[in-house]
Chain A
Amino acid sequence: MKPPRLDYVRASTLAEAHAVLAAEGADARVIAGGQTLVPMLSMRLARPRVLVDIMRLGELGRMDETDGHIRVGAGVRQAELLAWPQLAARQPMLAAALPWVGHAQTRNRGTVCGSIAHADPSAELPLVLVALEGSVTLSTRWRQRTVAAAQFFQGLMSTARRDDELIAAVSFPAARSGHGYAFCEFGRRHGDFAIVACAAVVTRSSTRLAVGGVADRPLARNWDGLSDDNLDDALNEFAYDLEARGDMHATARFRRDLVRRMGRETIGEARRWLA
């Protein structure tokens, strides 16, 4: 259980980090907090030839709120975002989900963008990004592009990031008036990956529910004017469309049942928030 032989680049400018990614492509991996990447190296699930450490780049270590978006740079640790005093007021879904990300001891090192980059289908932050319809900013030395969350996550631990691109920041829409937000997770133990997690955004006339831990990526569905009478039917249909699979943690049927129950609970909580 030791990492494979690899070079390590301590980038001191963003251009250096971009240059390594441009030159080495898929053989290079960005390391930030390392809370997912280091165990993957130890288990030899990842075998990059070179690691690029971006944690000395001050321009990636910032978070700010502009134009109704909370922009979190690639160097911002999960614990830093959680400690932001305005977080619960500016985006309650993020404030509710972050304590479920790993443990306090891993949040102290792990970054927000790192979790997005890894794209585990049961991880909390990708789910929140999809639920809120946030986006990911990718950069190379020559260009920058922004990809919507729904397009960024493409499947099991696979994303729209190209080999020469660095995730510079992720952007979570801040809370808006007239919107209710809620997050809910079921796992065997606190700190484990979710078996099912749900995140809801509601207004008086619309309902959006995103589900993690079931499909190969977090997926969302929108309904207009969903009443209590047809909520169960809508959730049942969504639960089947997610094409749950059974594994050592839970059967497909159990996961569908969790989607129905937790979906109802999460939507209910978001609606109470509206009231």
Chain B
Amino acid sequence: MARLSADRRHVVRFTLNGQPISAEAEPRMLLTDFLRHTIGLTGTHVGCEHGVCGACTIQIDGSPARACLTLAVQVEGASLRTVEDLAPEAGRLSILQAAFRRHHALQCGFCTAGILMSLDAYLRDQADPRERELREFLSGHLCRCTGYVPIIAAALDAARLLREEAGRA
């Protein structure tokens, strides 16, 4: 039985954006703080810190999840993906990211990383989403700038482009 004591930090091993990671965390450390402060990837944002706003959404084993509702020690052995992994290479945006830019789907950008990570997973499963389904899915994210209309437009446009790309492949 592995009992990790509160008094010290413990090694947590997992995969992050395709790379094996081994880093130390106290049992009480939230995954958000672990990613930002220990690993140094600050693309994952911390908003409400109790699971309501969606800013910290990342992918855990391929599914969107709140990093702030997860302890670092819980992801031992898991595969994590954060917003840093979306762009195919430096200086180039993914299809979804480029659609956000074209449609002005962000203003201050605080909510964007979480929304991108949710939509990236969603569009993988739902190639041709209906607007109503998208709105329901995005109810797990708060955006105080855009009013959501350009976010929906960007998501629908990205879905179309991803379908075209899949058709060519």
Contact with B along A207-222 (1 / 0, CB 8 A): 0000000000000000
Q: Shortest Cβ distance from A96 into chain B, in angstroms?
A: 14
8 Å CB contacts to A: which residues of B113-169?
118, 122, 136-137, 139-140
Number of contacting residues on A, CB 8 A?
39
Residue B93 interfacial (CB < 8 Å): no
- Pick from B60, B74, B122, B140 the residue with the most CB of A within 10 Å: B74
- Pick from A79, A103, A108 the residue with the most CB of B within 10 Å: A103
Q: Chain A residue with minimal CB distance to B73?
A: A8
Binds A, one of B13-21, B64-72, B79-87, B102-110: B64-72
Q: Is the CB of B1 within 8 A of A12?
A: yes
Partner pick for A105 among B33, B57, B73, B76, CB 8 A cutoff: B57
Residue B2 interfacial (CB < 8 Å): yes
- Pick from B2, B26, B70, B136 the residue with the most CB of A within 10 Å: B2
Q: What is the interface of chain B mostly: helix, strand, loop, or mixed? A: mixed
Task: Point out the residues of chain B lying under 8 angstroms from A12, CB to CB.
Answer: 1-2
Q: Chain B residue with minimal CB distance to A19?
A: B1
Contact with B along A98-109 (1 / 0, CB 8 A): 010011111011
Q: A8-B3, A190-B136 are in contact. Are A35 and B69 (CB under 8 A)?
A: yes
Q: Is the CB of B28 within 8 A of A39?
A: no
Task: Point out the residues of chain B lying under 8 angstroms from A106, CB to CB.
Answer: 51, 65-66, 69, 140
Q: Is the CB of B6 within 8 A of A5?
A: yes
Partner pick for B51 among A16, A39, A99, A190, CB 8 A cutoff: A39
Residue B27 interfacial (CB < 8 Å): yes
Task: Point out the residues of chain B lying under 8 angstroms from A42, CB to CB.
Answer: 30, 49-50, 68
Task: Point out the residues of chain B lying under 8 angstroms from A104, CB to CB.
Answer: 64, 118, 122, 137, 140
Residue A4 interfacial (CB < 8 Å): yes
Q: Is the CB of A39 within 8 A of B3?
A: no
Q: Chain B residue with minimal CB distance to A77?
A: B63
Assembly CA distance A31 to B28 (angstroms): 12
- Pick from A13, A42, A79, A99 the residue with the most CB of B within 10 Å: A42
Residue A6 interfacial (CB < 8 Å): yes
Task: Point out the residues of chain A lying under 8 angstroms from B64, CB to CB.
Answer: 104-105, 108
8 Å CB contacts to B: which residues of A90-123?
99, 102-106, 108-109
Partner pick for A1 among B2, B49, B60, CB 8 A cutoff: B49
Task: Point out the residues of chain A lying under 8 angstroms from B65, CB to CB.
Answer: 105-106, 108-109
Q: Shortest Cβ distance from B77 into chain A, in angstroms?
A: 9
Q: Point out residues on B near A: beta carbons under 8 Å.
A: 1-7, 26-28, 30, 33, 49-51, 54, 57, 60, 63-66, 68-71, 73-74, 76, 118, 122, 136-137, 139-140
Q: Point out residues on A near B: beta carbons under 8 Å.
A: 1-13, 16, 19, 31, 34-35, 38-39, 41-43, 50-51, 53, 55, 79, 99, 102-106, 108-109, 189-191
User: 8 A-B contacts, Cβ less than 8 Å apart?
Assistant: A5-B26, A8-B71, A11-B1, A16-B1, A31-B74, A51-B27, A105-B65, A105-B140
